[in-house]
Chain A
Amino acid sequence: MSFAWTSKLALAAGLAILPATAWAQSVNISYLTHWSPETVALLEAAAKDYAKTNPDVSVTVRAVPFGDLLTTLRSQGGGSDGPTIGGIYDLWLPELARDKLVAPAPDAVASEVKASWPAGITSAASVGGTLYGIPNEIDVYALNYNKALFKQAGIAAPPKTWDEFKDAAKKLTNKEAGQQGFGMINSWAAGVVHPFASLLVSNGGELVKDGKPALDSPQATQTFQLYEDLIKSGASVPAMATADANTTGPFLDNFVSGKTGMIIMANWWESALKTGMGSKFADIATAPIPVGPSGDKPHSISYSWMTVVNANAGAAEQKAAWDFLAWLNNPKSGKNGASAMSDILMSMGILPSRLSDIDAHKDKLGSEFLSGYVSVLTDAKPFPVVPGGQEFSESLQQTIEALQYGQVSAKDAQATAQADATAILERAAK
C-alpha cells in the first residue's frame, strides 16, 4: 500500500468514527391521508412552511384513495415503517387504541385540545378518557330541500315537525313526473345510517346509551315507523336512492336534477351540488332536522376525523409528529387567525371543528348553504365511538335497507337491529 492510499484510508476512517451528532439530526415523519391530489398539494405546502422554522424535520405525505384508507391502516401491522401520522375517522379509533397502535396525546397537546374544542368532539377523539389525537374535520347532517319544488307544491317553510315533514313529502311526490318527496340513500353505510340516526336523535332517542344499544326504545319504534310510512306512501322511492363509489350515484343525480324534494345529507356534498346545479344551486337551502313527537328540539348526528400518531414509531419521530400536528392545528399557522389545517379543510368545503377556526372562517361559513349546518353544530350528537362501532353501523345499514325495500316490517326491523347491535357490541367489548 502506498503512502497516499494509507493516508486516504486513515482520513476516511477518521471521518467515519466522528460522532453523527456533530451534524444536525434529521427526523423524517410521514403523514397518511385520503385527500385528493389538489388537497394534498396544500398539505405539502403547509409542510414546507413548517420546514422554514423547523429545518430538521421533513414531512412526507402518503396519499391513498379514500376507499382504501382503512385497509391501508389495518395492513400496517404496527410496524415502525408505518406512517407516523394518520388522518383517521374517529369510528376507527377504539380498535387502534385497543391494539396499542396509536399513542396517547402528550399533556401539552391534550390540554390545548380540551381548551379549544367542543367537549363532544374531544370525547369522540378519546377512548376511556384518554385523548389520542387532534380532531380536525367535523361533518354534520341537515335537511336539504329544493325551494323551487317547495314553491311549486305550495309549501311555505321547511318542515319543523315530523307531521309537517310527512305532509311536505306527500305534497312533493309526483309519481308520473318521477319525483319523490324525501330521498333516502342505500348501498352506502354512512348514507343509510346517519340520516336515520339524525331523525332518531331529533325524536329524543339514542343509538347507544351507556355502552348498550338503545334501538328498542319507543322513540326508535317511531323512527322505524316513520321510514315505513314514507316508503309505503311512495314519498320515498328506494330505486332513486342508490349510491355508488360512495359520494355519487342516483341519490345525488336525482336531487341535482330536481327529482327529489328533500334529503338529509352532510355538509361536504356542497361542491357536488354546486358543480351539478350551476346557477340552480340557489334553489337549495338547508334547515334543521324535523323534530319527532318524542323530541324536544332538533338534533343532528355528527362525526369527525382526527390525526393520530403511530405508537410504534421512534421516540424522536413521535415527538416531531406531535409538534407538527400542534403547529398545523394552531391559529398561527394559517391565514387571519385560522389554522393551516382549517384552510385546507375549507378548500374542500369541509367544516373545521376548532372553535377559533369556526370564528376565523365565519364569512365563508355564513353562506346560505353552510350556515344551516353551522347552526346545528352545537346541538349535534356525535355518532357513538365504541369498540365494534364500524360493524354496528354496517349491520344497522343492512336492516334499514331491508326496511326501505319492504323486506321487513318496521317492528321486525327494530327487533333485528337491536338484537344484532347487542351481540356485536358485546363481542367487541371483550
Chain B
Amino acid sequence: MSGGSSSRLSRKRPSGRKALLATLMLLVAVASAFPLVWMVLSSLKTPAESMQVPPVWIPHTPSLDAYEKVSGVVNVGRSMWNSLVIASVTTAGILITSMMAGYAFAKYHFPAKSLLFSVLIATMFLPPIVTLIPLYRLVGSIGLNASLAGIIVPNLANAFGIFLMRQFIAGVPDDLIDAARMDGASELLILFKIVAPSVAPAIAALALFAFVYHWNSYLWPLTVLQGNADAYPIVISLSRLLSYNRGAVNTGLVMAGATLAVLPPLILFVLLQRFFVDSIVGSAIKG
C-alpha cells in the first residue's frame, strides 16, 4: 500500500526503528554475555572473594593466579588435546554419515523409507543416561574400553545429524541433481560436490553443533575411560578440581580452566562464520 502519506512517516520510521533495533540487539548481547563475563571475572578473583555475601562483582586485585595454578594441578594441555581429538574425529564422522544418510532420505525412494526414518528419529528419544550401562558393557565386549576410540566410535553416526541434513537437502532442487546425473556423475560425487555447497549453512551448523557437543561431552567419556585421568577431556579434568571438599577452594581454578576451554570451539565458530551467508548464494544457484 504505497502512497504519499506513508512515505512521510517512513522517512521518520527507519531511523526510529533502527535505534530500537540497535537497542534491542545490545540488550540481548549484554544479557547473553553477562554470565560469561562473570565467569571470566571470577577466574580473576581470590577464592575468598567468591564466597562473599553480598557478592564481589569486580575483584579488588585481579590476578592470573588461577590460570597459573590450574595448569599445575591438572594437565590442561593434555586434556584439551584429548578433547580436540574426540571432538574432531567424531564431528568428521557425523558429517559424512549424516550427509550420506540425509541425502538418501531426502532424495531417494526405497521400500520402508518412512519406517526406517521413524526408527532412526526414535533413537533420539532415550536420554544417554539410560543406555549408559548397556552401551558401556557392549563397548567393553568389543574391547574398546579405556580408549578414546571407545568414546568416538559409538558417536560416529547420529540421528540428529541425519534429520538435519534430510530437512535441508530436501530443499535442494531436483533438476540440479538430475542434470548432474545426466552428465554421468556418481551419487557420491553429486552429494559432495553439488548438494553439499547448496546446504553449506546447514553443514556448518551441524559441524559446529557436533564439535561443541562432543567437546563438552561428559558422561560417556567418563564411563568409557574407567578412571584413566590421562585420557580425560578437559571438562572432566575440571570437574575433578571440585571433588569432595575442594569445591569452595578450587572455584577460581575451574573458572580459569573453563575460560580456556571455551577458546577452541570459539575459534572454530569464527572460522565457520563465512558459511552463514545470506541467501544470495542460494538464489544464484536457483538461477
Binding site for B on A (CB under 8 A): 30, 32, 34-38, 40, 61-68, 71-72, 74-75, 77, 79, 81, 83, 245-248, 250, 252-254, 256-257, 259, 268-269, 271-272, 275-278, 348-350
| CB atoms of B222 and A247 under 8 A apart | no
Q: How long is the Cα–Cα vector from A185 to B183 in the complex, in angstroms?
A: 72
Which residues of chain B in 54-80 are interfacial with respect to chain A, using CB atoms and an 8 Å cutoff? 73-74
Pair B229/A36 contact, Cβ less than 8 Å: no
Complex interface: chain B residues within 8 A of A74 (CB): 133
Within 8 Å by CB of B140, from A63, A79, A248, lies A79
**Contact call A77/B247, Cβ cutoff below 8 A:** no
Provide the bound-state CA to CA distance between A344 and B33, in Å: 41
Does B96 sit within 8 A of A, measured CB to CB? no
Interfacial chain A residues near B6, Cβ < 8 Å: none
Asked if A272 and B249 sit within 8 Å, CB to CB, the answer is: yes
A248 to B241, CA, bound (A): 13
Check A34 against B244 for contact (C-beta < 8 Å): yes
Q: Among residues 129 to 153 in chain B, which have CB atoms less than 8 Å away from a CB atom of chain A? A: 132-133, 136-137, 140, 145-146
26 cross-chain CB contacts under 8 A:
A36-B73, A37-B229, A65-B236, A65-B242, A68-B219, A68-B222, A72-B223, A74-B133, A75-B132, A77-B136, A83-B227, A245-B247, A247-B247, A248-B248, A248-B251, A252-B248, A257-B53, A259-B53, A268-B245, A271-B248, A271-B249, A275-B51, A276-B47, A276-B51, A278-B48, A348-B244
**Is A75 touching B244 in the complex (CB atoms < 8 A)?**
no
A35 to B240, CA, bound (A): 8
Given contacts A77-B137, A271-B249, contact A66 B243 (CB under 8 A): yes
* CB atoms of B243 and A253 under 8 A apart: no
Contacts of A36 in B (CB 8 A): 73, 240-244, 246, 250
| Nearest CB in chain B to that of A68: its residue | B222
B98 to chain A, nearest CB (A): 29
Asked whether A66 and B227 contact (CB < 8 A) given A253-B51, A257-B51, A257-B52, the answer is no
B114 at the interface (CB under 8 A from A): no
Contact, CB under 8 Å: B53 / A254:
yes
B243 near A35: Cβ-Cβ < 8 Å: yes
Q: Among the listed B52, B228, B242, which residue makes an inter-chain contact with A66, where contact means beta carbons less than 8 Å apart?
A: B242
| A38 contact set on B, CB distance < 8 A | 73, 246
Residues in B neighbouring A276, C-beta threshold 8 A: 47-48, 50-51, 248
B244 contacts A35, C-beta separation under 8 Å: yes
Q: Which of B108-160 contact A (CB under 8 A)?
A: 132-133, 136-137, 140, 145-146
B245, A247: Cβ atoms under 8 Å? yes
- Does any Cβ of A come within 8 Å of B239's Cβ? yes
Which residues of A sit under 8 angstroms from B48, Cβ to Cβ?
A: 275-278
Cβ-defined contact, B222 with A64, below 8 A: yes
CB distance from A78 to the nearest CB of B (A): 11
Instruction: Give residues in B with beta carbon < 8 Å to A.
Output: 47-48, 50-53, 73-74, 132-133, 136-137, 140, 145-146, 219, 222-223, 226-229, 236-237, 239-251
Q: How far is the CA of A38 from the CA of B240 in the complex (A)?
A: 10
Q: Is the CB–CB distance between B244 and A63 below 8 Å? A: no
Cβ contacts under 8 Å, B137 to chain A: 77
Please determine whether B227 and A269 come into contact, CB atoms closer than 8 angstroms.
Answer: no
Given A253-B53, A257-B53: A37 in contact with B241 (beta carbons within 8 A)? yes
Tell me if B140 and A246 are in contact (CB < 8 A).
no
Interchain nearest-CB distance for A301 vs B (Å): 18
Task: For the complex, give the distance between the alpha carbons of A83 and B251 in Å.
Answer: 29
Please indicate which of the listed interface residues A40, A61, A66 has the most CB atoms of chain B within 10 Å of its own CB: A66
CB distance from A290 to the nearest CB of B (A): 25
Give every chain A residue within 8 A of B249 (Cβ-Cβ): 271-272, 275
Closest 7 CB pairs of A and B: A62-B227, A272-B248, A276-B51, A257-B53, A65-B239, A66-B243, A36-B243
Contacts of A67 in B (CB 8 A): 239
Residue on A with the closest CB to B235? A65
Closest B residue to A256 by beta carbon equals B51
Contact B245 A269 (CB under 8 A): yes
* CB of A95 to closest CB in B, whole Å: 15
Give, as a whole number of angstroms, the nearest-CB distance from B86 to chain A: 17
* Extra contacts besides A269-B248, A272-B248, A275-B48 (12): CB < 8 Å: A32-B227, A40-B229, A63-B240, A81-B145, A81-B146, A83-B226, A83-B227, A245-B247, A252-B248, A257-B53, A275-B249, A276-B47
In the assembly, what is the distance between CA of A63 and CA of B239, in Å? 11
Chain A residues positioned under 8 Å from B241 (CB to CB): 36-37
Residues in B whose Cβ lies below 8 Å from that of A72: 222-223, 227
A269 partner residues in chain B, CB cutoff 8 A: 245, 248
Closest to B74 in A: A37
In the bound complex, CA of A161 to CA of B56 (Å): 38
- From A81, A275, A349, give the contact of B47 (CB < 8 A): A275
- Set of chain B residues within 8 Å of A271, measured between Cβ atoms: 245-246, 248-249
Quick check: B245 and A81 within 8 Å, CB to CB? no
Q: Nearest chain-A residue to B49 (Cβ)?
A: A276
Closest chain A residue to B55, Cβ basis: A253
Query: What's the Cα separation between A277 and B48 when bound, in Å?
Result: 7
Q: Which of B74, B133, B240, B244 is close to A77, meaning CB atoms less than 8 Å apart?
A: B133
Please tell me if the beta carbons of A37 and B223 are within 8 angstroms of each other in the complex.
no
Expressed in whole angstroms, the minimum distance between the Cβ of B36 and any Cβ of chain A is 19
| B53 closest partner in A (C-beta) | A257
Which residues of B have CB within 8 Å of A35? 243-244
Chain A residues with CB under 8 Å of B47's CB are: 275-276
Contact (A247, B244) CB under 8 Å given A37-B73, A77-B137, A81-B140:
yes
A123 vs B228: C-alpha distance when bound (angstroms): 33
Q: Are B245 and A272 in contact, with the CB atoms below 8 A? A: yes
B279 CB to closest chain A CB (Å) equals 45
- Max chain A CB contacts within 10 Å: which of B48, B136, B246, B251? B246
Which B-chain residue is minimally distant from A76 (CB atoms)? B226
Contacts of B50 in A (CB 8 A): 276
By the criterion CB–CB under 8 Å, are A81 and B244 in contact? Answer: no
Chain A min CB distance to B251 (Å): 7
Q: Which residue of A64, A246, A252 has the most chain B CB atoms within 10 A of its CB atom?
A: A64
